[in-house]
Amino acid sequence: MGGFCPEGSFGSHASGEECTSLNLFPSFIRGNSFTPLSFHTPVRKVKNVKWVTRVGAKVDRIACPWLIKRFVDPDAEFLYIPKADVLSIARERGAIPFDSPGAELNHYEADGEERCSFDAIIRSYGLNDPALLDMAEIVRTADTASRNPRPEGAGLESLALGFHMIAKDDFENVRLQFPAYDALYAYCKLKVKNKSKLEHAIKNDHDEIPYSSLVAAEIRERMRADEKLKESEAMFRLILDSTAEAIYGLDMQGNCTFCNNSCLSLLGYDHPEELLGKNMHWKIHAKHLDGTTYPIEDCRIDQVLSRGVGMHVEEDVLWRSDGTSFPVECRAYPQFRDGMLVGAVVTFLETTERKKVEHQVQERKKELQAFYRLSEITQKKGITIEALYQEVANFLPASWQYPEVTCARIVVGSKEFRSKNFEDSAWKQSAPIKVFDTIVGSIDVAYLEKQVELDEGPFMKEERLLIDAIAELIGHITERKLVEENIKK
């Protein structure tokens, strides 16, 4: 359950916890979430404008987005960010700041009384709907120390504080309160037309309908909708667990909101509770393959939460519960609800087998290139046998698995032909060179650094086949060269 989060940090957090901006990201609102009742066209028309305000919304920063979307721009986009960043982000993104120090659309004084940002937007956009002006008095009472308070204002402030406590973030707060503001506007329309008499409404001493009565029907409707939501969630879980692809969800703080069975299995966990509510970057993605820390600000998955743009990484690494890593292909998709960015869905596939196949293909390609290169050298006109040995020694390292730390040497009789980086090494692979069935030398290929143990020390069985084949070919080439020289003599 969301709780109070002071200004200067993103989103919201559990009640009683220390608030921090670490790993938390702003929220967006786009699109038209609800069907309007009946709204007037503003004097100043705007469309698809971005609006920026502070996080931790209660009254004015919920009332203003409602006012903008209902009366100014139904397709408006909103961004909730720390107070210190509002003006700079507004300039950077060409957005309109509101309800924040330094913004034009902010609290101001008129007729010796403080007016709120809701009043500022009404004034700036020439909104003159009588019901809206009546509603502004209620919002002003709930958000400022009004000298002429409206009784409904206390109810609005109480509900705003309550919604702020139960909402997990600003988006949730908006979603919960927008229907309440629709209901409040409907009440104000009845009131200004003197048609507010309802048979079963409880009235105060001024014959006014309390605000809480107007939202009661909305609350009951929401409870019925929650029951339907539970049914759809059960079906969603069945579908989720039937997929082979690992899937998990993130909220705006990067915490896990759901995960399927494939995700648990690949990561080595037994129960969803081991991941739910945990920050997934630090849980499974906090280190590079070499074990060094992977800063969250560099994480492309977490960047989806701040940018609202999907991503695809063909080669990444995740970490299991037992501390081992495995390669994955990963995708992350931003999730919008009622036009607001609310999190992301991440999918990944283990690519261990695929990478093995790709690696084998690449190694076979290098072997073919080695034979092709040897054929090219052999066909050079006038090349001496010694020059051929040297060229072969030069290209051989590129045909092995770790060419950057591989060196080679060809020994024939008392002569050696070395690659430039050749050094004696404990990790060496050799093959004899035979000429007319007599061993006259050898080919040596070595690693200058220790590598993982494979089929023959650090060498693959395919590399054994390769060095033997090249040694045999060099023997045949040497035989042919010797025969040619004897013929010439």
**What digits encode the pLDDT tens for the residues 186-224?**
999 988 888 664 344 445 555 554 444 444 445 545 666
Binned at pLDDT 50, 70 and 90, residue 460 comes out as confident
The share of the chain scoring above pLDDT 90, in percent, equals 55
Coil vs helix vs strand at 302: helix
According to DSSP, the β-strands at 96-97 and 50-54 are: parallel
Q: Which residue has the higher pLDDT, 361 or 489?
A: 361
pLDDT, mean over the chain: 82
Structural tokens at position 271: 């129960």
C-alpha radius of gyration, the chain, whole number: 36
Structural tokens at position 91: 């300039």
Single out the residue of 293, 323, 37, 52 nearest to residue 181, CA to CA: 37
pLDDT of residue 489: 66
Pick the CATH number of 354-488 from 3.30.450.40, 3.40.50.2000, 3.50.50.60, 3.40.50.300: 3.30.450.40
pLDDT of residue 117: 96
Query: For 231-235, 340-344, 435-439, which range has the lowest pLDDT when averaged over its residues?
Result: 231-235
pLDDT of residue 127: 94
pLDDT in tens, 237-250: 777 777 889 999 99
For 442-458, give the secondary structure using H, E and C.
EEEEEECCCCCCCCECC
pLDDT of residue 317: 94
Map out the domains of the chain as residue ranges: 27-238, 241-350, 354-488
CA distances to 169, 362, 374, 415 from 383, in Å: 76, 30, 13, 17
Structural tokens at position 413: 């009789």
> How far is 61 from 455, CA to CA, in rounded Å?
66
pLDDT of residue 342: 92
Q: Which residue has the higher pLDDT, 16 or 360?
A: 360
pLDDT of residue 155: 87
pLDDT of residue 5: 32
Query: For 257-266, 346-355, 436-445, which range has the lowest pLDDT when averaged over its residues?
Result: 346-355
- Decide if pLDDT at 32 tops 90: no
- Decide if pLDDT at 108 tops 90: yes
Superfamily of domain 241-350: PAS domain (3.30.450.20)
Binned at pLDDT 50, 70 and 90, residue 139 comes out as very high
Give the DSSP letter string of 142-192.
HHS--SS--HHHHHHHHHHHHHHHH-SSHHHHHHHHHHHHHHHHHHHHHHH
> How far is 273 from 258, CA to CA, in rounded Å?
9
- Decide if pLDDT at 385 tops 80: yes
Q: Which residue has the higher pLDDT, 108 or 13?
A: 108
Coil vs helix vs strand at 93: helix
> How far is 338 from 282, CA to CA, in rounded Å?
29
Query: For 27-31, 54-58, 333-337, 468-472, which range has the lowest pLDDT when averaged over its residues?
Result: 27-31
Q: For 72, which DSSP code?
A: I
Topology alike, domains 241-350 and 354-488 = yes
pLDDT in tens, 403-424: 999 999 999 999 999 999 999 9
Query: For 107-121, 262-276, 286-300, 474-488, which range has the lowest pLDDT when averaged over its residues?
Result: 474-488
Q: Where are the beta strands (DSSP E) in 338-456?
A: 340-350, 406-412, 415-418, 427-435, 438-447
Binned at pLDDT 50, 70 and 90, residue 52 comes out as very high
Coil vs helix vs strand at 333: strand
pLDDT of residue 485: 76
pLDDT in tens, 281-332: 999 999 999 999 999 999 999 999 988 899 999 889 999 999 999 999 999 9
In terms of Cβ atoms closer than 10 Å to its own Cβ (0-12, 13-18, 19+), residue 301 is buried
The share of the chain scoring above pLDDT 70, in percent, equals 83
Single out the residue of 5, 159, 160 nearest to residue 81, CA to CA: 5
For the chain, what is the largest distance between any 2 Cα atoms, rounded to a whole number of angstroms? 129
- Decide if pLDDT at 3 tops 70: no
Residue with tokens 């080595």: 268
Coil vs helix vs strand at 224: helix
Phi–psi pair at 216, nearest 5 degrees: -60, -45
- Decide if pLDDT at 256 tops 90: yes
Binned at pLDDT 50, 70 and 90, residue 376 comes out as confident
Q: For 239, which DSSP code?
A: H
- Decide if pLDDT at 337 tops 90: no
pLDDT of residue 233: 73
Binned at pLDDT 50, 70 and 90, residue 34 comes out as very low
Residue with tokens 């339907």: 228
